[in-house]
Amino acid sequence: MTSTHRAGLPADAREPGGPTPSGVEEHVLHSERLQIERKTFTLSMRENPRGRFLRITEDVAGRHDTIIVPAPGVKDLLRVLTEMAQRAEAVQTQEEKAASEETAPA
């Protein structure tokens, strides 16, 4: 599930000009939320006086973990994620093929 609304995000994500817990003012440029199984991922492109960055926050049962990717690294991150997704898909296809061969009558 993918959504592009800001309702329900943490206060610092909803308020484009709000200061963060570190005291640095950040502006949310765009935010997306993904629900994958029991995890919710919020990806926010933000900007502060030091530059633009992607903040990825994972929420599992109220526990939050966050990573920050500087904007110049987002293309490399996307490239690596795309490669991993393709490899995962290839492995899944191989596993499905092997499973169908095992259950096929001889």
Note whether residue 101 is domain-resident. no
* Domain-embedded: residue 79: no
Token pair 């259950």 is at which residue? 103
98 found inside a domain: no
Average pLDDT over residues 45-56: 97
Supply the range of the domain harboring residue 66.
2-71
| Residue 14: its H or E element | helix 11-14
Using an 8 Å Cβ cutoff, are 42 and 9 in contact? yes
Q: What total number of domains does the chain contain?
A: 1
Which uninterrupted H or E stretch holds 97? helix 74-103
Asked whether residue 86 is assigned to any structural domain, the reply reads no
- Strand blocks (E) in 1-106: 2-3, 27-36, 39-48, 51-60, 63-70
At 97, is the pLDDT very low, low, confident or very high (cuts 50, 70, 90)? confident
**Integer Cα distance of 33 and 56 in angstroms:** 10
Q: Flag whether 57 is in a domain.
A: yes
* Full-model pTM: 0.69
- The token duo for 52 is 């633009």
Answer whether residue 89 is part of any domain: no
Is 61 part of any domain? yes
CATH of the domain at 51: 3.10.450
Region 19-23: what's the mean pLDDT? 71
